[in-house]
Amino acid sequence: MRTLKADDIIIPLADGIKRALTHVDCKALELLKQAEQNETSALCKWALGQIVQNDELAARENAYACQDCGQAMLFVSVGQQLRIKGELTAALNKAVQEGYSTARKSVADPLTRLNTQTNTPAVIHYDIIEGDSLSVRYMAKGAGSENMSKTYMLTPSKGTDGIVNCVVDCVKSAGSSPCPPIILGVGIGGTMDLCALLSKKALVFTDKPKRADETELEKRILKAVNETGIGAQGFGGSITALSAHVMTAPTHIGMLPVGVTIQCHSDRKFEIVF
């Protein structure tokens, strides 16, 4: 059994967060560049060009890609053969505090609205996996896009058409509020709470293998959303979403839960393995 000191993760994780906040995910940036080339609306093409220019400048200058650095979300996979010496949750939150040290303070009590002044606590989800490693996947979740996210409780008879319709409904309701073009995470199955979590995981575990029907559904969702005509920044155009990611889980025979998480184009995330 391998032993890892919890405090040893603080500096590497904090450094990774600092970099992620100034460097938009490379895959998202490439999709933005492709969208700029393929967009047919002159106004949307201009908006996409401005976004790309902003992201590239932020990376060069180590400046924040967006003033909303989001609430830190951590997806932590802990090997069952790994022994953690120390307080893991405390170390994770310390890393977030350090990583956000110069960022806008954006975490507050939901009732008193008193700011914690540390951008903590982070939203942390734990999974137990095989092996003796510790993996942390970080995602910055801004309020503008998160406010537009939704869950739907469908009956099974709605099928995949109903799932696509839910995502389109969510995107239409959002309009320009989440600063499109957007990235979509769609969680399907489980229960109300699980489908919402799956929609988040779909955005960070994009490297996980997909079934053929899941891949086909992603294509259908992306096509339907881009047919809404909302376009970049809501200016109208052919590209409202850059990508759609689906994650599924078994559900009750009487349910078809669907969670839709909208992520803005300023997609800031990374993974670190200890």
Supply the mean pLDDT for the chain.
97
**What are the residue boundaries of the structural domains of the chain, listed by start?**
2-23+65-141, 143-266
The whole-number average pLDDT for the span 101-123 is 97
As a whole number of angstroms, the distance between CA 119 and CA 270 comes to: 18
Query: CB-based contacts of 70: which residues, under 8 Å, 6+ apart?
Result: 106, 139, 140, 141, 142, 143, 268
Residue 157: band (very low, low, confident or very high) from pLDDT cuts 50, 70, 90: very high
The whole-number average pLDDT for the span 129-142 is 98
Within its chain, how far is the Cα of 37 from the centroid?
Answer: 24
Amino acid at 233: Q
Query: Pairing between strand 269-273 and 134-141?
Result: antiparallel
Per-residue pLDDT of 198-240, as tens digits, reads 999 999 999 999 999 999 999 999 999 999 999 999 999 999 9
Q: Does domain 143-266 bear CATH number 1.10.3470?
A: no
Using an 8 Å Cβ cutoff, are 24 and 108 in contact?
A: no
Q: Supply the pLDDT for residue 88.
A: 98
As a whole number of angstroms, the distance between CA 259 and CA 191 comes to: 10
Residue 87: band (very low, low, confident or very high) from pLDDT cuts 50, 70, 90: very high
The whole-number average pLDDT for the span 108-118 is 98
| DSSP, res 271 | E
